[in-house]
């Protein structure tokens, strides 16, 4: 007879306990604390003062906050679809080639493991209007490049282009999904007279739709939370053109010493992300195809 | 199989024990400090690294030798310094004596967390305010409370490349020079192909690098107490001074715009590489300039209607949570003493008059100009209070509009004055 503690359940909880402790101490605890902090005025230097919902009320009168939401929304709306499309195209090309696939996969993934700050510094030089590589290349084809990070009309676009640097993660996920699509399905479609585009549209895309769904959700969440690029490259400038919401949160917390206000921003952002994530989840029944569900239903 | 399970459980237990062990070890270390027989233990927190940190440790050792019943730890936290101080404080473990910038003296002081040192100064017969250069000492005074003692400082100085002036056959700039003289001279240098640019500002988008030139034209960002900007930021004198600077960038192209300066490595590098004849910045760059082998001189900023400059300043404050304030005062006083400042002043300007004399800085023509310029320094808008400090990012957006978008200067300054008053000053 096994002792009461020597069960699979005990072992499971014991093994997972480091994560549970970490989650409770470093994530759930601070999250709950930030709810309380968001109801206070707190500079970190003095004891917090309870102000009820004032921080939330003030947020909606704060033109900089609404501007930061607009900037973040624009960043997400433009960057996520392009990243998904680019990653998908590259993954499909990699899936087609026979040689050096693994090497190329590594090459495309490598930028994702480089430190964020180092990458941003690199891009700052690439975007330099005077000596940057990008304007040099544009100049070769007769296009006068913009002033990028120094131009309020182009700075956010520069950050969006920067974000494409890290599509290696999406590529690897798409590639794995593509390699899981059975050849017999493509062959059957071609025998039925489908051309390449029709095969991609009607066979490949539906078969890898769970991977697309996963990448869309993850990219959307991470782009709503973008911080490092704007913090290092522009500090939110010029003229607030790249002041994304998390950067504004940081500035309120540590530069203006308004920790309660910053916590309120964090919660508003949390609910915005939650809303759009649920929206994507809800819509998934319309466009995400799970083979197991069909099999189970049959 | 059973043995394998036991191993897995043992490993997971060990993983869980790691943080617990670390916490216990931390506690043991604290105890060790208290058991070494010394009565008092203080920390000095600084943002300095490398040479600056070594100097501060040396000064702490000197203090411990003179005060064997006190231990001093000099701490240089990694990452963003102010964030660390804030989170340390929020976590109930504020620093004792700590290095502080001039803006944060106002912010931390505004929250009432810094000890007013006036009572210590008045009661201490060994401490003489006259040992310090007036302007440097005053920067630590907020509303009559002495919230910090000066550590080091620098006025905004004009560095000029002597080689460029020699080759162009021009006299070196001095205190008689008007703004127009400087523009004319540097234009000559650029026209002769001796330098790509004539005049480079430390940062065209930052209030403190612009404000002295506004004062020099009898303009101002605000009234004396910083509570009103309309009529000051948008006054004809302020607008005229801004137009003079903007014309250097956009009309004469004597001054690189922000992106051009960055493309060439930044304002400092422009001067190092001989790409600009004049640079407005602080004296802490002098050591590196000497190491780079540049033949340079320093001069007071050129006048328009009068001379003006501004200080960049750092000090030491005492946090109000310190229990043994008398010992903390002794430590604070020691850090700004002549002996300590002689160590720190080897690489920078010292606020301590006697240390400056001992180091021969007042006889060094380049350094003495900086001390002379400090007398022209005025209190910038961002140091007139916590609300003004918080308004500085909005003020700097006006400079972004002017220098990045070539926005209309008068209109931009007028709108900025109104917006800052509404958002920050009339609350």
The span from the CA of A266 to the CA of A287, in Å, is 31
Give a yes or no: residue B396 inside a domain: yes
In a domain, A55, yes or no: no
Quick check: A145 contacting B, CB < 8 Å?
no
Residue B22 has pLDDT above 50, yes or no: no
B73 with B136, same domain: the answer is yes
How many domains in chain A?
Answer: 1
Same domain, B404 and B300: yes
**Each residue of A101-115: pLDDT tens digit?**
888 888 888 888 887
C-alpha triplet A82, A84, A89: angle, nearest 5°: 95
B68 and B191 inside one domain: no
- A256 interface with B at CB cutoff 8 Å: yes
Residue A34 lies inside a defined structural domain of this protein? no
Do B174 and B286 lie in one domain? The reply is yes
Q: Are residues B113 and B180 in the same domain?
A: no
CA dist A63 and A124 (Å) reads: 28
CB contact under 8 A, B263 and A129: yes
Interface of B with A in 98-127 (CB under 8 A): 107-108, 111-113
User: Closest approach of chain B CAs to the CA of A11, in angstroms?
Assistant: 7
Residue A135 near residue A92, CB atoms below 8 Å: no
Q: Which range has highest mean pLDDT (A102-106, B14-18, B271-275)?
A: B271-275
Whether the per-residue pLDDT at B19 is higher than 70: the answer is no
Residue A284: CATH number of its domain: 1.10.3720.10
Indicate whether B27 belongs to any domain.
Answer: no
Q: How many domains does chain B have?
A: 2
pLDDT score at A160: 96
Nearest to A147 among B13, B19, B259 (CB): B259
User: CB distance from B9 to chain A under 8 Å?
Assistant: yes
Report pLDDT for B3.
53
Asked if B93 has any chain A CB less than 8 Å from its own CB, the reply is: no
**pLDDT above 70 covers what percent of chain B?**
91
A15 interface with B at CB cutoff 8 Å: yes
Partner A contacted by B406 (CB < 8 A): no
CA–CA gap between residue B276 and residue B260 (Å, rounded): 12
CB pairs A-B closer than 8 Å: 75
Inspect the interface and report whether the beta carbons of B112 and A46 lie closer than 8 Å.
yes
B346 and B389 share one domain = no
pLDDT of B396 over the 60 cut: yes
Of B12, B82, B400, the CB nearest to A239: B400
Closest alpha carbon to B16 in A7, A4, A16: A16
A93 touches chain B (CB under 8 A): no
**Residue-number span of the structural domain to which A216 is assigned:** 62-115+165-297
Asked if the structure places residue A54 within a domain, the reply is: no
Could you tell me if residue B13 is inside a domain?
A: no
B165-184 per-position pLDDT tens digit: 999 999 999 999 999 999 99
Tokens of B216: 């020099």
DSSP string, B303-318: BSSS--EEEEEEEEEE
The verdict on residue B14 lying in a domain is no
Q: Which residue ranges in chain A fall short of pLDDT 70?
A: 1-4, 292-298
Chain A hits for B262, Cβ within 8 Å: 128
Co-location of B91 and B62 in the same domain: yes
For residue B12, is it within any domain? no
Residue ending a domain, among B346, B373, B400, is B373
**pLDDT score, position A1:** 52
Q: Which residue of chain A has the CA closest to B257? A: A150
Output the average pLDDT for chain B. 89
Q: What is the CATH number of the domain that holds B173?
A: 3.40.190.10
Tell me: do B388 and B367 sit in the same domain.
no
Q: Are residues B213 and B87 in the same domain?
A: no
In this prediction, residue B33 has a pLDDT band, given cuts at 50, 70 and 90, of very low
The whole domain housing B298 covers 155-310+382-425
Chain segment B223-266, per-residue pLDDT in tens: 999 999 999 999 999 999 999 999 999 999 999 988 888 878 88
The answer to whether residue B259 is domain-embedded is yes
Could you tell me if residue B354 is inside a domain?
Answer: yes
Q: Which pTM does this prediction carry?
A: 0.84
C-alpha separations of A173 from A84, A99, A116, A186, A276 in Å: 11, 19, 21, 20, 22
B77: helix, strand or coil:
coil
Same domain, B81 and B166: no
Contact B259 A239 (CB under 8 A): no
Q: Are residues B391 and B269 in the same domain?
A: yes
In a domain, A177, yes or no: yes
Does the pLDDT at position B9 exceed 60? Answer: no
Judged against a pLDDT cut of 90, whether residue B1 lies above it is answered with no
Q: In this structure, is residue B99 part of a structural domain?
A: yes
Would A126 be classed as within a structural domain? no
Vertex A148: Cα angle to A143 and A149 (nearest 5) = 165
Instruction: Give the pLDDT score at B90.
Output: 87
Q: Which pLDDT belongs to residue A92?
A: 92
CB B139, CB B315: distance < 8 Å: yes
- Identify whether residues B115 and B129 lie together within a single domain: yes
Structure tokens at B286: 């002098």
pLDDT number for residue B31: 39
């Amino acid at each position: 007879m096994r002792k009461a503690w020597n069960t699979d359940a005990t072992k499971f909880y014991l093994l997972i306990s480091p994560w549970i402790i970490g989650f409770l101490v470093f994530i759930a605890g601070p999250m709950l604390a930030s709810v309380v902090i968001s109801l206070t005025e707190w500079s970190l230097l003095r004891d917090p003062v309870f102000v009820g919902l004032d921080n939330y009320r003030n947020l909606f009168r704060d033109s900089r906050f609404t501007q930061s939401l607009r900037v973040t929304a624009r960043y997400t709306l433009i960057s996520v679809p392009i990243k998904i499309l680019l990653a998908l195209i590259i993954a499909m090309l990699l899936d087609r080639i026979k040689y050096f696939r693994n090497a190329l996969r590594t090459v495309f993934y490598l930028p994702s493991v480089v430190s964020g700050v180092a990458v941003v510094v690199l891009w700052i030089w690439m975007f330099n209007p005077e000596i940057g590589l990008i304007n040099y290349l544009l100049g070769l084809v007769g296009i006068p490049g913009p002033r990028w990070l120094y131009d309020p009309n182009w700075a956010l676009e520069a950050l969006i282009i920067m974000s494409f640097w890290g599509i290696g993660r999406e590529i690897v996920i798409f590639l794995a999904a593509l390699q899981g699509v059975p050849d017999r399905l493509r062959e059957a479609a071609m025998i039925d007279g489908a051309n390449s585009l029709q095969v991609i549209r009607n066979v490949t895309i539906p078969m890898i739709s769970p991977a697309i769904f996963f990448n869309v959700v993850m990219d959307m969440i991470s782009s709503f939370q973008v911080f490092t690029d704007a913090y290092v490259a522009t500090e939110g400038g010029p003229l607030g053109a790249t002041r994304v919401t998390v950067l504004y949160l940081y500035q309120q917390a540590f530069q203006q010493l308004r920790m309660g206000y910053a916590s309120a921003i964090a919660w508003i952002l949390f609910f915005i992300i939650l809303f759009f994530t649920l929206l994507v989840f809800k819509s998934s029944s319309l466009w995400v195809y799970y083979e197991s569900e069909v099999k189970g239903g049959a | 199989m059973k043995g394998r399970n036991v191993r897995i459980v043992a490993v997971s237990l060990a993983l869980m024990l790691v943080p617990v062990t670390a916490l216990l070890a931390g506690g043991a270390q604290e105890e060790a400090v208290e058991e070494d027989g010394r009565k008092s233990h203080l920390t000095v927190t600084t943002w300095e690294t490398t040479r600056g940190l070594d100097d501060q440790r040396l000064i702490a050792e000197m203090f411990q030798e003179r005060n064997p019943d006190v231990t001093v730890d000099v701490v240089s936290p990694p990452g963003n310094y102010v964030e660390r101080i804030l989170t340390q404080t929020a976590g109930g473990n504020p620093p004792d004596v700590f290095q502080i910038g001039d803006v944060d003296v106002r912010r931390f002081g505004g929250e009432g967390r810094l000890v007013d040192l006036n009572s210590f100064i008045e009661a201490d017969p060994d401490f003489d305010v006259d040992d310090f250069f007036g302007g440097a000492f005053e920067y630590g005074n907020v509303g009559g409370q002495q919230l910090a003692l000066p550590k080091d400082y620098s006025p905004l100085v004009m560095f000029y490349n002597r080689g460029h002036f020699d080759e162009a056959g021009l006299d070196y700039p001095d205190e008689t020079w008007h703004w127009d003289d400087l523009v004319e001279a540097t234009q000559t240098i650029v026209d002769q192909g001796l330098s790509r640019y004539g005049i480079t500002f430390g940062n065209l988008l930052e209030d403190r690098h612009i404000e002295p030139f506004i004062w020099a034209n009898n303009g101002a960002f605000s009234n004396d107490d910083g509570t009103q900007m309309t009529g000051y930021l948008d006054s004809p004198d302020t607008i005229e001074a801004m137009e003079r600077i903007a014309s250097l960038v956009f009309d004469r192209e004597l001054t690189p715009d922000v992106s051009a300066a960055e493309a060439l490595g930044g304002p400092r590098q422009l001067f190092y590489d001989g790409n600009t004849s004049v640079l407005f910045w602080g004296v802490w760059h002098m050591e590196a300039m000497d190491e780079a082998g540049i033949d340079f001189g320093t001069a007071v900023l050129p006048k328009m209607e009068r001379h003006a400059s501004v200080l960049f300043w750092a000090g030491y404050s005492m946090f109000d949570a310190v229990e043994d304030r008398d010992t903390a005062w002794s430590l604070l006083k020691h850090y700004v003493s002549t002996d300590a400042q002689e160590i720190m002043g080897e690489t920078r300007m010292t606020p301590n008059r006697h240390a400056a004399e001992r180091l021969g800085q007042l006889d060094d023509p380049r350094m003495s100009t900086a001390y002379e310029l400090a007398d022209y320094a005025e209190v910038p808008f961002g140091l007139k209070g916590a609300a003004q400090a918080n308004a500085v990012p909005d003020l700097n957006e006006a400079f972004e509009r002017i220098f990045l978008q070539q926005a209309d200067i008068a209109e931009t300054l007028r709108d900025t004055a109104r917006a800052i008053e509404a958002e920050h000053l009339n609350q």
